[in-house]
Chain A
Amino acid sequence: MPFIPTEIALRSSAPVTIDHDKCIGDKGCTVCVDVCPLDLLAIDKSTGKAYMQFDECWYCLPCQHDCPTGALKVDIPYLLR
Chain B
Amino acid sequence: MSTPQTHILEYDIVVVGGGTAGPMAAVKAKEANPNLKVLLLEKANVKRSGAISMGMDGLNNAVVPGFATPEQYTKEITIANDGIVDQSTVYAYAQHSYATIEELDRWGVKFEKDLTGDYAMKKVHHMGTYVLPMPEGHNVKKVLYRQLKRARVAITNRVVATRLLTDENGAIAGVLGFDCRTADFYVIRAKAVILSTGAAGRLGLPASGYLMGTYENPTNAGDGYSMAFHAGAALRNLECYQINPLIKDYNGPACAYVTGPLGGFTANNKGERFIECDYWSGQMMWEFYQELQSGNGPVFLKLDHLAEETIQTIETILHGNERPSRGQFHARRGTDYRTQMIEMHISEIGFCSGHSASGVYVNSKAETSVPGLYAAGDMAAVPHNYMLGAFTYGWFAGRNAAEYVSGRELPAADAAQVEKERTRIFAPLLRDNGLPPAQVEYKLRRFVNDYLQPPKVTRRYEIALNRFAEIAEDIEQLHARNPHELMRAAEVGFIHDCAEMAARASLFRTESRWGLYHYRVDHPQRNDAEWFVHTELYKNDKGEIAHRKKEIEPYSIAIDTEEGQAYNRLRIKKDEAPEPQAA
A34 to B180, CA, bound (A): 13
Interface set, chain A 46-61, CB cutoff 8 A to B: 53-54, 56-61
- From residue A48, how far is it (CB to closest CB) to chain B in Å? 19
A76 to B213, CA, bound (A): 10
- A61 and B325 contacting across the interface, CB-CB below 8 Å: yes
Contact with A along B324-350 (1 / 0, CB 8 A): 110011001100000000000000000
The reply on B211 being an interface residue by CB < 8 A is yes
The reply on A66 being an interface residue by CB < 8 A is yes
The reply on B284 being an interface residue by CB < 8 A is no
- From residue B17, how far is it (CB to closest CB) to chain A in Å? 12
* CB-defined contacts of A38 to chain B, threshold 8 Å: 44, 212, 218-219
User: Which secondary structure characterizes the binding site on chain B?
Assistant: loop
- B219 and A62 contacting across the interface, CB-CB below 8 Å: no
Partner of A56, one of B44, B208, B218: B218
- B49 and A58 contacting across the interface, CB-CB below 8 Å: no
- B212 and A5 contacting across the interface, CB-CB below 8 Å: no
* CB-defined contacts of B328 to chain A, threshold 8 Å: 75-76
A60 to B212, CA, bound (A): 11
Q: A54-B484, A57-B212, A79-B210 are in contact. Are A37 and B219 (CB under 8 A)?
A: yes
A80 to B248, CA, bound (A): 9
Partner of B158, one of A5, A39, A57, A62: A39
- B53 and A80 contacting across the interface, CB-CB below 8 Å: no
- B329 and A81 contacting across the interface, CB-CB below 8 Å: yes
* CB-defined contacts of B249 to chain A, threshold 8 Å: 80-81
The reply on B48 being an interface residue by CB < 8 A is yes
A38 to B53, CA, bound (A): 12
Closest A residue to B213 by beta carbon equals A80
Closest B residue to A56 by beta carbon equals B212
Q: A56-B218, A58-B214, A61-B54 are in contact. Are A37 and B44 (CB under 8 A)?
A: yes
The reply on B250 being an interface residue by CB < 8 A is yes
A33 to B44, CA, bound (A): 11
Count, chain B residues at interface, CB 8 A: 37
Closest A residue to B214 by beta carbon equals A58
- A39 and B181 contacting across the interface, CB-CB below 8 Å: yes
Partner of B332, one of A39, A58, A81: A81
- A79 and B325 contacting across the interface, CB-CB below 8 Å: no
The reply on A71 being an interface residue by CB < 8 A is no
Interface set, chain B 222-266, CB cutoff 8 A to A: 249-251
- From residue B335, how far is it (CB to closest CB) to chain A in Å? 12
- B180 and A80 contacting across the interface, CB-CB below 8 Å: no
A16 to B49, CA, bound (A): 18
The reply on B170 being an interface residue by CB < 8 A is no
The reply on B323 being an interface residue by CB < 8 A is yes
* CB-defined contacts of A53 to chain B, threshold 8 Å: 484
Closest B residue to A37 by beta carbon equals B44
Contact with A along B310-323 (1 / 0, CB 8 A): 00000000000001
Interface set, chain A 18-62, CB cutoff 8 A to B: 34-39, 53-54, 56-62
Interface set, chain B 478-530, CB cutoff 8 A to A: 484, 487-488
Given known contacts A7-B436, A38-B218, what 13 new A-B pairs fall within 8 Å (CB)?
A: A34-B47, A38-B44, A38-B212, A56-B218, A58-B217, A62-B48, A62-B53, A65-B54, A76-B250, A76-B328, A79-B208, A80-B208, A80-B251
Selected A-B contacts with CB under 8 Å, 27 pairs: A5-B434, A35-B48, A36-B44, A36-B45, A36-B48, A37-B44, A37-B45, A37-B53, A37-B217, A39-B158, A39-B484, A53-B484, A56-B212, A58-B213, A58-B217, A59-B325, A61-B324, A62-B48, A65-B54, A65-B324, A76-B329, A79-B208, A80-B210, A80-B213, A80-B250, A80-B329, A81-B332
Q: Which residues of A contact B (CB under 8 A)?
A: 5, 7, 34-39, 53-54, 56-62, 65-66, 74-77, 79-81
